[in-house]
Each structure stands twice: as C-alpha cells, then as structure tokens.
Amino acid sequence: MATLSSPIHQDQVFINFRGKDIRHGFASHLVDALKRHNIKVFIDTDEQKGRDLKHLFKRIKESSVALVILSTGYAESKWCLDELKVIMEQEEKREMTVIPIFYKVRTGDVKKQKGVFGNRFRRRSEKSSHEEMEKWQVALKAVSNKFGFTLDNNRPFREICSRLLFPFRSQSLSGSFSKWFVGFSSRRKSPSSV
C-alpha cells in the first residue's frame, strides 16, 4: 500500500479544475473521452466525501500526468490553488507531466493575474495569507509558462476533446500513454489553440 511519503506513479491523469465553472460541461466530456480511450482518470468526485485534503494530495502524487484546466473562476477556489501548488511541486521534481488547458481565459491573464481571472484571484487574497498568495502566484506563473491548449468559445466540447486526444487514435494506450504526454510536454511549439 502506498503511503503519503512514497507514492506509486501510475498511468493516471489527475484533472485539476474549478467544478463550478466546468464540471457538468467541458470537464465531464473530457473525462468521458479519456475513459473511452482506457485512460485512468482521477477527479475530485472520485474522492470519498469528508476525507481530509491530504488524501487528495496523495491522489495527485500517485498520478503521472495532470491536466490543469484554468477557467475564469479557477482563482476563486483555495482548493484548486492548493492542488495546483502540489501539482507544480511534483512537476518540479520531475515526477509529473503538467499540461495546462486555458479554458476561456488568456494565458497572460493567468500568468500575471489580470482581467477577470486576476480580479477573482485578488478577491481570494481577502481570505488568504500573504504566504499562500505568493505560493499560488508562483504556481500560476509556472503553469502559464508550459505549453498547453487554449480553448475558444466557438467549438463544441466533443470537437475540443477529440483534438486533445488526437495522438491516441492510432496507438495502443496500454504502454504509450505516459510516453505521449511526456513527448507532448517537451514539444517546442507555441501553445495550440483548439
């Protein structure tokens, strides 16, 4: 059995997102698409209710890939920001591949906490310590510096999910899933607009 100090890295995707913004829309379509391709997915609804947050952090540490879906309300959530901090720590230790998905937000607004995203982040500061805010700012900047996807408002969820999963169509996922994500994170292209 894994302990909090010695995680087992699985071919599991941890999805970090603001449920209020996208749980019953984009996130549910993405989870369904990943599962249809036999990819193990973990989202917070899979966690037993009433458990301490450290158990969710354990699930992050057990995963080999994190999809961080940044939306306009993302920065309002202490939960999302705390998860992001742990995700970026795992990535810094090279124990996780992190892929940001900018869902109806601009990369620069996340990176510099500007616009609607920035306003909501500043509102969070009224309820948080200076130390927490600094750590979250570092994590937001780091995730914004990664290559990822920018999703516009004009495409249906099914088409967006299809584009995100395109590399999986022609290969067996059982051994290549982590390799694709690792390859994805090392590509030297600008963030794609899906």
Marked catalytic residue, from 62, 83, 95, 132? 83
> SS3 letters for the chain?
CCECCECCCEEEEEEECCHHHHHHHHHHHHHHHHHHCCCEEECHHHCCCCCCHHHHHHHHHHEEEEEEEECCCHHHCHHHHHHHHHHHHHHHCCCCEEEEEEECCCHHHHHHCCHHHHHHHHHHHCCCCHHHHHHHHHHHHHHHCCCCEEECCCCCHHHHHHHHCHHHCCCCHHHHHHHHHHHHHHCCCCCEEC
Catalytic residue status for 159:
no
By annotation, the residues acting in catalysis are 83
